């Protein structure tokens, strides 16, 4: 369940912060950004399973066709933003399966996922893509903080059944190591091996590579995000 979305630098959305409940109606005049809000949700959903460029190509442009990558960034006149930020809070299922049918069990069910993408000219030396990950994180929201994050009316009993988990480190983090930005994928189990990836060499999000064996909570977050294309 998507409970909150923050978007900045995506199409005409700048510093947008929307709280969602079990049923949320989005209303507003033409060209106010309603469809773009759903495009941002769909973009996150595609990024959970596809390479960066494939996910961007799946988003509609102004003509209804696939948008050019550059046009996904906020524009004022002829100037485009260099970065876009997408941040989602979600309640995930307690269990599920990965692509190979392996069972995954979450260690916590209330999460915050953040992704910052930069535009890189495809003609830049060494550029692999027009999109570059500059930050990606997946962290837990503590049970004690859940009431202030869930902005819709709900009972404490419901919250206890939906929000479970324990304290611990982030599942995905971004750090600077020797002047290089790296994305780290941390295993759910204590003492598990941490995968370290160069952010500017990633063709897809770290989340999209999650599996039940090493990162079950991230896998279930991925499954949750994949379901968001059915929200609109």
CA separation for the pair 48, 41 (Å, rounded): 11
pLDDT of residue 125: 55
CA separation for the pair 126, 120 (Å, rounded): 10
Residues 6+ apart with CB under 8 A from 76: none
The pair of structure tokens assigned to 199 is 């952010």
- The answer to whether 118 and 134 are in contact (CB under 8 A) is yes
Residue with tokens 């983090």: 173
CA separation for the pair 5, 191 (Å, rounded): 32
Domain ranges, residue 97: 2-230
pLDDT of residue 28: 87
Residue-level pLDDT, tens digit, the chain, 232 residues? 999 999 999 999 999 999 999 888 889 888 888 999 999 999 999 999 999 999 999 997 655 556 689 999 999 998 999 999 999 999 999 999 998 999 999 999 999 999 999 998 766 555 556 899 999 999 999 999 999 999 999 999 999 999 999 778 899 999 999 999 999 999 997 767 899 999 999 999 999 999 999 999 999 999 999 999 876 6
Number of domains the chain contains: 1
pTM for this predicted structure: 0.93
CA separation for the pair 184, 232 (Å, rounded): 32
- Strand ranges (E), the chain: 2-8, 16-19, 75-76, 79-80, 83-91, 95-97, 103-105, 110-119, 131-140, 172-177, 180-185, 195-198
Residue with tokens 């009993």: 157
């Amino acid at each position: 369940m998507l409970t909150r979305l923050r978007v900045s630098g995506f199409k005409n959305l700048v510093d947008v912060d929307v709280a969602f409940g079990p049923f949320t109606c989005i209303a507003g005049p033409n060209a106010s950004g309603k469809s773009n809000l759903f495009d941002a949700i769909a973009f996150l959903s595609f990024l959970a399973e596809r390479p960066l460029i494939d996910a961007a190509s799946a988003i509609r442009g102004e003509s209804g066709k696939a948008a050019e990558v550059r046009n996904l960034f906020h524009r004022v006149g002829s100037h485009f933003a260099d970065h876009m930020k997408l941040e989602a809070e979600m309640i995930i299922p307690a269990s599920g399966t990965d692509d190979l049918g392996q069972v995954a069990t979450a260690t916590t069910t209330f999460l915050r996922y953040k992704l910052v993408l930069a535009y890189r000219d495809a003609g830049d030396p060494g550029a692999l893509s027009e999109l570059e990950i500059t930050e990606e994180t997946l962290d837990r929201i503590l049970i004690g903080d859940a009431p202030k994050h869930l902005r819709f009316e709900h009972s404490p009993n419901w919250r206890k059944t939906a929000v479970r988990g324990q304290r611990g480190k982030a599942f995905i983090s971004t750090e600077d190591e020797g002047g290089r930005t790296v994305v780290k994928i941390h295993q759910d189990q204590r003492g598990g091996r941490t995968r370290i990836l160069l952010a500017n060499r990633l063709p897809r999000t770290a989340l999209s590579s999650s599996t039940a064996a090493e990162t079950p909570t991230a896998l279930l977050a991925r499954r949750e995000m994949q379901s968001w294309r059915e929200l609109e």
